[in-house]
Amino acid sequence: CRRNAGEPEFLQAVQEVLESLEPVVAADPAIEKNGVIERMVEPERMIVFRVSWVDDAGKVQVNRGFRVQFNSAIGPYKGGLRLHPSVNASVIKFLGFEQVFKNSLTGLPMGGGKGGSDFDPKGKSDMEIMRFCQSFMTELCKHIGPNTDVPAGDIGVGAREIGYLFGQYKRLQNEFTGVLTGKGLTYGGSLARTEATGYGLCYFTREMLADLKNESFAGKKVVISGSGNVAIYAAEKATELGGKVIAMSDSAGYVLDESGIDLALMKQVKEVERARITEYAARREGAVYTAGSKNIWNTPCDIALPCATQNELDEEGAKALIQNGVMAVAEGANMPSTPAAIAALQKAGVLFAPAKAANAGGVAVSGLEMSQNSMRYSWTFEEVDSKLEGIMKGIYQSASSAAAQYGHAGNLVMGANIAGFNKVCTAMIAQGVAY
């Protein structure tokens, strides 16, 4: 704790995992002897750097850039880049730590990493975004590579930013490689990567509903926080599976649309115009906007999918959901539920799918993008989507059987942590004390 003082998000993520691992550590003395836990909570490397760039007024701006290379026991470091003013060492470390377990759960050979900057993309011109990305990559390129560390997108980093980052990497290194994922389709991107996290979340939720409650999305009211990449494609797949998405949000407020969110309009507003969700409400008859994004949890629903950011669903939100009879909560964002919210949901018997299992579809398809780049070949949308579906089913099975093995059947938080840990632990012990 002392070494990570002032890093509350990182400590929160570590505490949750370590609590789940208690029975595993107790059952296998080799874990303690090899210092596996102590090594796992300390990143292999943390790079912090200055990012200076010139704004449209000709003034030099300075931000802080980060890349944490957390664990490479089972493959090259892999994890997204986040551009948001709230980014700091604690946020990047919590995300990198979670990524280690998530990547392991996919079954693909990927270690864990994460990065980003406290740069705020909101209100910036295209040229400002480009100059920032070029400056960021000028330093980051010294530390990454297709066999070393393969970053991707996250909050504030979508196709446009990945394009600028990739272009600058190629220019500096003079090589065309799969060093980033989430690339455009014309230069090595994978079909279905854009949809993967949201679709994967719904595939996982479908498995959980069927296995633990003999239920499905059909006819269910669904509430989804956020209106970014994960939220939009979760809404698309939930609708396809028969659910009705009635509310979505951004960081300022939420929109309630009882007749079911119009996805074409939502995509136009958020993806094309990069406008606020108030714009959706203004153009859609019957939609009602309410300020305050956390108020979204007061909306009565059967399934809630938090897909915005960390700690967005607190105990109060969880209690409102429970009171309104929610059946399942599945995390699309990383660590969106506070520990108190998770405890309240589990105590009330609500099905709960933790992020590191439920939102692993994005990184899984990133792993498939790496495979396609290595083969210099592309799979069709249907091929990638069907592999994604298989991977999400596999993750559900691993988490569910690990929970049952340790006497906590149905506790997918424990199950995901244990299943993700086992593979990394075995690989670390096999490779000796290298770090």
Q: Kindly tell me which of 188 and 362 has the beta carbon lying closer to ligand NDP.
A: 362
Question: Which residues are CB-neighbours of 184 under 8 A, at least 6 positions away?
Answer: 159, 162, 163
Provide, rounded to whole angstroms, the least separation between the CB of residue 182 and ligand NDP. 7
User: What is the nearest approach in angstroms of ligand NDP to the Cβ of residue 197?
Assistant: 4
**Who contacts 79 (Cβ-Cβ below 8 Å, separation ≥6)?**
70, 95, 96, 99, 103, 112, 113, 114, 115, 151, 152, 154, 363
* Of the candidates 236, 237, 235, the residue with the CA atom closest to the CA atom of residue 224: 235
Q: How far is the CB of 360 from ligand NDP (least distance, A)?
A: 7
Q: Of the two residues 65 and 80, which places its CB atom closer to ligand NDP in the complex?
A: 80
* Structure tokens belonging to residue 254: 């939420």
Cα end-to-end span (Å), the chain = 20
- For tokens 């679709």, the residue is 199
Query: 181: annotated binding-site residue?
Result: no
> DSSP secondary structure string, 322-364?
HHTT--EEE--SSS-B-HHHHHHHHHTT-EEE-HHHHTTHHHH
Residues of this chain that bind ligand NDP (CB under 6 A): 153-156, 197, 226-231, 250-252, 293, 307-309, 312, 332-334, 359, 362
| Closer residue to ligand NDP in complex, CB, 31/253 | 253
Has 237 been labeled as part of a binding site?
A: no
* Amino acid letter for position 258: E
- In DSSP notation, 61-123 reads EEEEEEEEEEE-SSSSEEEEEEE-TT--HHHHHHHHHHHHHHHHHTTSS-EEEEEEES---TT
Q: How far is the CB of 48 from ligand NDP (least distance, A)?
A: 20
Residue whose CB is less far from ligand NDP, 155 or 318: 155
177 annotated as ligand-binding:
no
Helix, coil or strand: residue 15 = helix
Between 138 and 334, whose beta carbon lies closer to ligand NDP? 334
Q: How far is the CB of 250 from ligand NDP (least distance, A)?
A: 3
Closest residue to bound ligand NDP by CB: 228
Shortest Cβ 22–ligand NDP spacing (Å): 26
Q: Which is nearer to ligand NDP, 130 or 155 (CB)?
A: 155
How many C-beta atoms surround the C-beta of residue 192 within 10 A? 24
Question: Which residues, 6 or more positions from 66, have their beta carbon under 8 angstroms from its beta carbon?
Answer: 46, 47, 48, 49, 87, 89, 92, 115, 116, 117
Distance in Å, CB of 86 to ligand NDP, minimum: 7
Q: Is 102 annotated as a binding residue?
A: yes
188 is in an annotated binding site: no
Q: Are 315 and 209 in contact (CB under 8 A)?
A: no
Place of tokens 């560390």: 149
The answer to the question of whether 361 is labelled as a binding residue is no
Torsion sign across C-alpha atoms 305, 276, 153, 368: positive
Alpha-carbon distance of 261 to 236, in angstroms, equals 10
* Pairwise CA distance, residues 392 & 207, whole Å: 9
- Is 99 among the annotated ligand-binding positions? yes
Report, as residue numbers or ranges, the catalytic residues. 114
40 — phi, psi (to 5°)?
A: -65, -30
Residue placing its CB nearer to ligand NDP in the complex, 78 or 206: 78
3-class SS at 206? Answer: helix
Residues forming the annotated binding site? 78, 99, 102, 153, 197, 229, 366
- Binding site residues for substrate, as ranges? 78, 99, 102, 153, 366
Binding residues for NAD(+): 197, 229
